């Protein structure tokens, strides 16, 4: 009976914690992309050509590459740094156009896949497993890429620190090409609030329940997707995915404060003409 009471208390605490609004940019211990099962699920999501979750759909990736090449924002022989390169879906393509690519990502599984594919295709790309904040490049790159709103995942202090690192890594007049989400995207999608049961899935190989809960921090233009995973074995783990949204005025000011000037904007990196009210803003910022 005591053991049953202990398990019930643990489950109760887990459920109670699943509806608690976390502190702004609160993070769980450990990195979910290095979990043996989740990292495999994440790589599968990256490689699914019809899925817009981890990476954008294959069709969108191809349109993005074509737009950046057609607009001459990336050119043959450019030195390009791909931050958050994942399994190399962009880097491998740009390398085929004669650019010199360096890709950095935290996921061991994604980097190993990217390295393997580059070798199979005879592409000379430097793939590095590591943190953006540990790089120490100085005036080495013509272009820095950061695709699919990754800069939105950082609190202000870390974002500014990263922008300074990118600024230092770029050569004179170098370009930082990236995109950010807006509050319109969150308004259109809403906040998560549901319970799901899986007999094996993204978060866990066996039977498990996922409690999805979204929280908004409108005064900070920030929101979080929170996933509480309860396995059949009674284990409970919570994961957070944070996003700081930006208006064009806000991101322009942030860039100016960190040594960049906005040179071009679209609604997406595929080249869609910019119109206010969209869910995304794609930006080309020049080092000044």
DSSP 138-191: -S-EEEEEE-SSGGGGS-HHHHHHHHHHHHHHEEEEEEEEEEEE-HHHHHHH--
210, 176, 180, 194: which is closest to 41 by C-alpha? Answer: 210
* pLDDT tens by residue, 167-211: 999 999 999 999 999 999 988 988 889 999 999 999 999 999 999
CA 34 centroid distance within chain = 15
Cα 166 from Cα 138, distance rounded (Å): 9
User: Does the structural domain 39-182+247-287 have CATH classification 3.40.50.150?
Assistant: yes
Q: Is the pLDDT of residue 1 over 60?
A: no
Q: For residue 12, what pLDDT band results from cuts at 50, 70 and 90?
A: confident
- Tokens for 68, please give them: 């950046």
> pLDDT value at position 232?
87
For residue 14, the surrounding DSSP H or E stretch is: helix 2-18
106, 61, 57: which is closest to 85 by C-alpha? Answer: 106
Q: Assess contact for 269 and 51: CB atoms under 8 A.
A: no
Global pTM reads 0.94
> pLDDT value at position 42?
93
Cα 253 from Cα 214, distance rounded (Å): 28
Q: For residue 5, what pLDDT band results from cuts at 50, 70 and 90?
A: low
Sequence ranges of the chain with CATH classification 3.40.50.150: 39-182+247-287
Average pLDDT estimate for 31-60: 91
Q: Is the pLDDT of residue 4 over 60?
A: no
Mean residue pLDDT of the chain comes to 93
Q: Is the pLDDT of residue 2 over 60?
A: no
170-183 burial, b if ≥16 CB within 10 A, otherwise e? beeebbbbbbbbbb
> pLDDT value at position 80?
98
| Burial class (CB within 10 angstroms; exposed 0-12, middle 13-18, buried 19+) of 136 | exposed
- For the ranges 32-36, 47-51, 114-118, the lowest mean pLDDT is seen at 32-36
| Burial class (CB within 10 angstroms; exposed 0-12, middle 13-18, buried 19+) of 29 | exposed
Cα 165 from Cα 248, distance rounded (Å): 22
68, 71, 136, 73: which is closest to 102 by C-alpha? Answer: 136
180, 135, 174: which is closest to 285 by C-alpha? Answer: 174
Q: Is the pLDDT of residue 146 over 60?
A: yes
């Amino acid at each position: 009976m005591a053991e049953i009471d202990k398990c019930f208390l643990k489950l109760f605490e887990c459920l109670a914690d699943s509806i608690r609004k976390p502190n702004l940019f609160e993070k769980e211990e450990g990195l979910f992309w290095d979990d043996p099962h989740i990292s495999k699920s994440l790589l599968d999501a990256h490689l699914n050509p019809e899925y817009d979750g981890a990476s954008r759909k294959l069709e969108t990736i191809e349109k993005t590459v074509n737009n950046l090449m057609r607009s001459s924002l990336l050119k043959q022989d450019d030195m390009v740094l791909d931050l958050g390169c994942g399994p190399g879906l962009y880097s491998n393509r740009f390398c085929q156009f004669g650019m010199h690519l360096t890709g950095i990502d935290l996921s061991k599984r994604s980097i190993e896949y990217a390295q393997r594919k580059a070798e199979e295709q005879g592409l000379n790309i430097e793939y590095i497993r590591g943190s953006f904040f540990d790089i120490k490049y100085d005036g080495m790159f013509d272009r820095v890429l950061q695709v699919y709103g990754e800069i939105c995942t950082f609190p202000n202090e870390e974002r500014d620190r990263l922008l300074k690192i990118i600024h230092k890594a770029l050569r004179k007049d170098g370009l930082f090409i990236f995109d950010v989400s807006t509050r319109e995207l969150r308004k259109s999608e809403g906040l998560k609030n549901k319970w799901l049961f899986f007999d094996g899935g993204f978060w866990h190989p066996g039977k498990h329940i996922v409690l999805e809960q979204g929280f908004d921090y409108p005064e900070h233009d920030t929101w979080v997707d929170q996933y509480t995973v309860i396995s059949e074995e009674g284990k409970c783990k919570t994961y957070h995915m944070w996003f700081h949204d930006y208006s064009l005025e806000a991101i322009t000011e942030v860039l100016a404060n960190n040594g960049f000037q906005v040179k071009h904007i679209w609604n997406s990196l595929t080249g869609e003409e910019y119109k206010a009210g969209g869910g995304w803003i794609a930006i080309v910022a020049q080092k000044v």
